[in-house]
Structure 1
Amino acid sequence: MALLKDTIKKYKVILGSASPRRSFLLKGLDFEFTVETNGDIPEDYNPEINPEQVPVMLSQRKSRMFHRAIEKDELLITADTLVICNGKILGKPSNRDQAIAMLSDLSGNRHTVITGVTLRTSAKEASFSASTNVFFKELSSQEIEYYVDEYSPYDKAGSYGAQDWIGYTAIKSIEGSYFNVVGLPVEMLSEKLMGFVGDTDNISI
């Protein structure tokens, strides 16, 4: 069986994300890519939509609102990650109070991290999502405030990064992909890319 890094060579891969964590994770798949950011894409959504569908919808929006047309030999990857706790979507906090409130919600609870990913060429598009359950220990107000003040998690869904101090101290267990919690489910992405570039049918659209 061919390796993804060889199969994908026919495309110039573009990661449409400003996230340094997604770029770091994608590098682990050992193929070349460039990063192009889109600027500010609206992240609003209809509250009537099933929360689990929102990340895929937003990843599709990021793809379709890319700042330029995709060339025939290019493949664009876009993604969006959200945290769902007790049925409530937790996106990126806009200020300190919101960050503290989000972490207080996560404290002592289970939450689900969902990343939606969209793959697009000039000829076709496909999307998928990955879900991971994360269990947090009870956090003191001092721990929460320390993390927010020291790590400024304003670019992270749910107000935390699993790769940060809080991930080392607060996460009791994980069910599913750890990399998905960081921002990109690279295990599933590798499989889906192989199907997408190989023109097979093993990818959900």
Structure 2
Amino acid sequence: MAEINRHLRFQKPILLASGSPRRLDLLQKMDIEVRQIKLDYHENIEPDWALEEIAELLAVQKWAQALPNLRNNEILVTADTIVIHNDQVLTKPKDAEEAHQFLLAMSDQSHVVMTGIKIGNREFASSFTDTTKVTFSPLSEKDIQYYIQHYSPFDKAGGYGIQEWIGWTYIHSIEGSFSNVMGLPTQKIHQWLSQYAE
């Protein structure tokens, strides 16, 4: 069978310095050629960082580590997503108990998802944060356990994926970018590429 050539919106490919399959899928669905690498990165959140700065500053840290892998014709993208609830950062849960605690705390309440981005090449780069407000309807104990047992809360900030079962059944409202909650604000990425990478 002959290989089907994909339409590509931009001539310059992206180097995605993230192991996230969701970020890779989002970029590919934007008709962008992507090369993906996974960093051996350990988050280092400084105590004096403001909550609204954390995601962007982590993306900047990742950028510095990823830059040596960048080829001349590529655009480098690094990202970090955090969930903030009641002025607390909810990281990726370390186990089922912590995932349960996160989901129970967010039940029938709103939280904020922030994704920090750094994008560019060796000559020019930009960094920014995109913010989305997400509100859960009341989560039942039975369905919290169901989600933890059947889906993948442990590799996601806040312990849930909006694109998974819990997002289709318990998200009451969302203000802002849906893709941002998945880990990449695609509209802002496209806007940047349209301005600087055509």
**1:146-172 C-alpha deviation (Å, 9 max, x unpaired):** 111111311001000001111011100
* Residue segments in structure 2 that go unaligned for 5+ positions in a row: 1-7
**1:27-48 C-alpha deviation (Å, 9 max, x unpaired):** 121121211111x311120233
Contact map agreement 2:108 2:138 (CA 8 A) in 1 = yes
Contact map agreement 2:60 2:127 (CA 8 A) in 1 = yes
Q: Which residue of 2 aligns with 1:111?
A: 111
- Aligned to 2:131, the other structure's residue is in SS state strand
Query: How many aligned positions are there?
Result: 191
Identity %: 37
- Aligned to 1:66, the other structure's residue is in SS state helix
Q: Which residue of 2 aligns with 1:201?
A: none
Contact map agreement 2:67 2:76 (CA 8 A) in 1 = no
Q: Which residue of 2 aligns with 1:163?
A: 163
Q: Which residue of 2 aligns with 1:131?
A: 131
RMSD: 1.5
Distance 1:152 1:180 in 2: 18
Q: TM-score under structure 2 normalisation? A: 0.90
* Residue segments in structure 1 that go unaligned for 5+ positions in a row: 199-205
**1:40-70 C-alpha deviation (Å, 9 max, x unpaired):** 3111202331111111011111111117342
Residue type of the alignment partner of 1:79:
A
Q: How does 1:1-205 map to 2 (within 5 A)?
A: 8-9=10-11, 11-38=12-39, 40-66=40-66, 68-197=68-197
Contact map agreement 1:63 1:120 (CA 8 A) in 2 = no
Residue type of the alignment partner of 1:139:
L
Distance 1:55 1:120 in 2: 17
1:71–1:152 Cα change, 3 Å: closer
Residue type of the alignment partner of 2:14:
V
Contact map agreement 1:79 1:115 (CA 8 A) in 2 = yes
Shift of residue 21 of structure 1?
0.7
Distance 2:67 2:80 in 1: 17
Distance 1:160 1:18 in 2: 17
Residue type of the alignment partner of 1:132:
T
- Aligned to 1:139, the other structure's residue is in SS state coil
